[in-house]
Structure 1
Amino acid sequence: MSETQSLMLQEAGQSPEVVATLLEKEKNAFAEIAKLFSDNAPSVVTTAARGSSDHAATFFKYLLEISCGIPVASIGPSIASVYAAPLHLKGGVHFTVSQSGASPDIVALQDAAKRGGATTIAVVNVVDSPLAKQADIVLGLNAGPEKSVAATKSFIASVAALSGVTAAIGGKRDLQHALEKLPEALLSTVGIDTAAAEEVLLGATSLYTAGRGPAFAIALEAALKAKETASLHAEAFSLAELMHGPMRLVQPGFPIIAFAPDDAAYANNVQALERLQKLGATAVPFSSQPLAGINLRVPTTGNGLLDPLVSLLVYYRLIESVTRRKGFDPDKPANLLKVTETM
C-alpha cells in the first residue's frame, strides 16, 4: 500500500475548511433564498441531481420537511432531457445540485422548471458553469477543484450549503448553531480509529448501509462510495425498511454500516440494530452515542439531524483505506469519469 495520500483522502480532509468558507462567503445567498421563501411561501420545493449530488438533495428533503414542513419532490432529469415533458411549477422553487454544473440533463431540467414557472437555484461548485449561468440564484460550494473521481468535499459542501438554506428559511437557531460548529466537528474526526471496521469490509462480498431521516441520505452516499471505490456491492436502506424483505439476506457475519445519530429516530434505530445483531449481523454503527457492535464514536455538532455528515467524513477515510488495501486506486475507479454528461 502506497504511503502517498490519495487525492480522495486529501480532498476529504479539506472539508472542514471548505464548509467554514462557504458558510461565510454565501451569507448573501442564504439571505436571498430566505427572502424568496418569506415573500412567496412556496407550498412545494423540487430538486434535480445525479449521483452523490442526488444524495445531498435527499438529505435536504428530509431536513427541510422535518424542520420547516415544506414537501420536497425529486424530479428525474430525463423528464426534460429525454421525454421533453413540460413542468407546471408556477410559484415553486427548484434546486439543482451539481459539482460541475455541466451535465446536459440537469441543465435541461432547470430550464424546464424555469419555463414552468419556478424560481431556480443552482447549488454548484463551478459557478461559471452552464447550470449556474442560467439559474436565478447561485449558491456556490466554494470547494475548489476536486480531482478525485470520488466526490468527498463537494458532497459535504453540498449538504452543508443546503443545511444553511434550511436554517435560513426556517429561522432555526439550533440548526444554525450546529452549522457553526460543523467545521470544528469535522476537524475533530481526525485520528478516529477505523481499523476494526476495515477488517469487516475487507472480508465482505456484500453489505447494507442504513439510516433514517437525513442519515438515510448519508447511507445512500456510503453505499455508492463502497461500490465506486472499493468495488464492494452495497445497498442502502432505511433501517425501518431493513425490517422487511431485505432482512432475508442477513446471515451470520453480514456487515451493516449504520448511521445512527442522536435524533428522534435514535431509539428505533437501536432496536433495529439489536434485532439485526441477533440474526448474526456484524453491525458497524456511526454515532455520537455508544452502541453495540464495532462502534465508531464521532463528534457531535449538538444537532442529531446534522451529525450524520460528521460520520460521513470518518466513513470516507474508512472506505478509502479499504480501497487501497484491496489494491485499487480510489482516485481512478474502473469505468468511471469525474464529470458524467448524461441525457
Structure 2
Amino acid sequence: MHEASPPPITPPPIAEAATLMFREAAESSEAVARMLATNAAAFAALGARLRAAPPAVVVTCARGSSDHSAVYGKYLIWTKTGIPVAAAAPSVVSIYDAPLGARNTLCIAVSQSGRSPDLLAAVAAQKAAGAHVVAFVNDETSPLAETADTLIPLCAGPEKSVAATKSYICSLAAFAALTAEWADDDVLRSAVAALPADLGRAWALDWSDAVAPLRTATNLFVIARGVGFGIANEAALKMKETCALHAESFSSAEVRHGPMQLVEDGFPLLALATSDAAGNGVREAAREFAERGAAVLLADAGLDGSSDDGVLPALKAHPAIEPILMIQSFYRMVNALSLARGFNPDAPSHLSKVTRTL
C-alpha cells in the first residue's frame, strides 16, 4: 500500500525586526554619523580644491543601488554648482574598448564592494585619461579604493543582506556632504550635520499603511522628481528584488506620457514629494493618478510628518535631505512588505552581493 507523503513543513514566519535588512537599515543613523566624522577633513579639502579649480564635467560610475545614489548626486551637484553631471556607460570601455578623453573631469565612483570588473575598468579608463577619481566605497581594501585619488570610505560596516540599505544611505549622505563643501553652502552643511538624528526620526515613522494595498499587487509605479528621482529608482529596485513586485520608477514629468496609458482602477502608485517646487509636480501627478482611479500612496514632506488617508508621513527638512529620510522610512516598510508577500528580503532569488558584470 502506497503511503501518503507527509505534509510539507511550513517554516514559521520571520519577525520583521529579525531580518538582516531591518537591522542593517536601522543602523543607518549611526553609520552616517560615522561616515561624516571620518571624512570631514576629506570633504573640506576636496570642496576647496573643486572651488579653486572646478572641473568641466562630473562623470559618475556606478551600478544598481549605487547608481541610484549617483542620480541623486547628479541633481544635487548640478543644481548647487552649475557643473554638468553625466553617468558613465561602463560597456564603452569594458566591451567596446573605446578611446576616452577625460581631462578636467571629476569622476565619482560609487560602490559597496568596489570589485565589479566593468566598474573598475571604467574608472581605470577615466583615471588614465586624466580624471581625478573620487571613490565612495564601503570596502576600504577593495581595488576601487586603491585606484582612487580621493577615497571617501562609506563606513557603513558589514552589510550581509543582499539588499543594500545603510551603504546606500551613506552614499547619499556623502554626495550631500561633498556638495555642501563644494558649494560652500552653510544651510546645506547644517542639514547634513543634522542628518544622523533626522534618520533616527525617519526610521520611527509608520509606513505600514502601504503594506496591505501592496501585498497582492503585481505592478507599481514609483514617481518623484529632481533630487528625489534617484530615491524613486531605489524604491522600485527594492520592490523588485525583495518583494518580486514589478515596480517602475518615473519622473513625475515623464509619467504622463506613455506610462499613463497603463493606469486603471486600483493601479498602485507610490509618490515621493519633497517640500520644494519639485514636490509640487509630484503632488500634481499624484492627484491626476487618483482622478483616474489609481490607488495612490503619497509620502509628502510638505506635511512634515503628518499623515492622512493615502498619505504616508515624511519629515520636512532641507529639500536635498528629504529624499534620504524618505528612503529610510521606505526601507522599514518594504522589509515588512517582503515578509507579508512570503519572501525573505535578505536572500532574493538569483541575486548575489557582488555583481561581476564584464
TM-score (norm 2): 0.93
Distance between the aligned counterparts of 1:299 and 1:181, measured in 2? 13
Q: What secondary structure does 1:257 align onto? A: strand
2:203 and 2:328 in contact (8 A); partners too? no
1:315 equivalent in structure 2: 330
1:211 equivalent in structure 2: 224
Counterpart mapping for 1:249-264 below 5 A: 249-264=262-277
1:183 equivalent in structure 2: 196
Q: What secondary structure does 2:293 align onto? A: coil
1:2 equivalent in structure 2: 14
Per-residue Cα deviation, 1:186-213 (whole angstroms, up to 9, x for no partner) = 1012432223210111021100001001
Q: Which sections of structure 1, spanning at least 5 residues, go unmatched?
A: none
Per-residue Cα deviation, 1:99-122 (whole angstroms, up to 9, x for no partner) = 000111111111100111111111
Match of 1:99 among 112, 126, 129: 112
Bigger shift: 256-265 or 152-161? 256-265
2:269 and 2:295 in contact (8 A); partners too? yes
Per-residue Cα deviation, 1:304-343 (whole angstroms, up to 9, x for no partner) = 1210110111111111111111111100000000111111
Q: Cα RMSD between the aligned structures?
A: 1.3
1:23 equivalent in structure 2: 36
1:342 equivalent in structure 2: 357
Q: What secondary structure does 1:289 align onto? A: helix
Distance between the aligned counterparts of 1:337 and 1:142, measured in 2? 21
Q: 1:292 to 1:239 in 2, by over 3 A?
A: farther
Q: 1:118 to 1:295 in 2, by over 3 A?
A: same
Distance between the aligned counterparts of 1:222 and 1:120, measured in 2? 28
Distance between the aligned counterparts of 1:104 and 1:191, measured in 2? 38
Q: Which has the larger radius of gyration?
A: 2
Distance between the aligned counterparts of 2:86 and 2:280, measured in 1? 28
1:276 equivalent in structure 2: 289
Q: Partner letter of residue 159 of structure 2?
A: E
2:204 and 2:329 in contact (8 A); partners too? no
> Percent identical across equivalent pairs?
42
Aligned length: 342
Q: Partner letter of residue 105 of structure 1?
A: D
Q: What secondary structure does 2:270 align onto? A: strand
Q: Partner letter of residue 145 of structure 2?
A: A
Bigger shift: 26-35 or 126-135? 26-35
Distance between the aligned counterparts of 2:51 and 2:229, measured in 1? 29
Match of 1:138 among 140, 144, 151: 151
Distance between the aligned counterparts of 2:314 and 2:286, measured in 1? 18
Query: Offset at 1:237?
Result: 0.1
Correspondence 1:153 to 2:166:
yes
Distance between the aligned counterparts of 1:284 and 1:205, measured in 2? 16
Q: Which sections of structure 2, spanning at least 5 residues, go unmatched?
A: 1-12
Distance between the aligned counterparts of 2:278 and 2:148, measured in 1? 36
1:60 and 1:163 in contact (8 A); partners too? yes
Bigger shift: 80-89 or 210-219? 80-89
Query: Offset at 1:36?
Result: 2.4
Q: Partner letter of residue 28 of structure 2?
A: S
Per-residue Cα deviation, 1:56-109 (whole angstroms, up to 9, x for no partner) = 000000011111111101011111111111210111110110000011111111
Query: Offset at 1:293?
Result: 5.1
Match of 2:182 among 162, 165, 169: 169
1:232 equivalent in structure 2: 245
Query: Offset at 1:292?
Result: 7.0
Bigger shift: 32-41 or 277-286? 32-41
1:263 and 1:305 in contact (8 A); partners too? no
1:263 and 1:303 in contact (8 A); partners too? no
Q: Partner letter of residue 297 of structure 1?
A: P
2:224 and 2:250 in contact (8 A); partners too? yes
Match of 2:210 among 184, 188, 197: 197
2:99 equivalent in structure 1: 86
1:324 equivalent in structure 2: 339
Distance between the aligned counterparts of 1:55 and 1:122, measured in 2? 15
1:11 and 1:152 in contact (8 A); partners too? yes
Distance between the aligned counterparts of 2:308 and 2:270, measured in 1? 12
Q: Partner letter of residue 342 of structure 1?
A: T
2:207 and 2:313 in contact (8 A); partners too? no
Bigger shift: 19-28 or 290-299? 290-299
Match of 1:299 among 289, 310, 315: 315
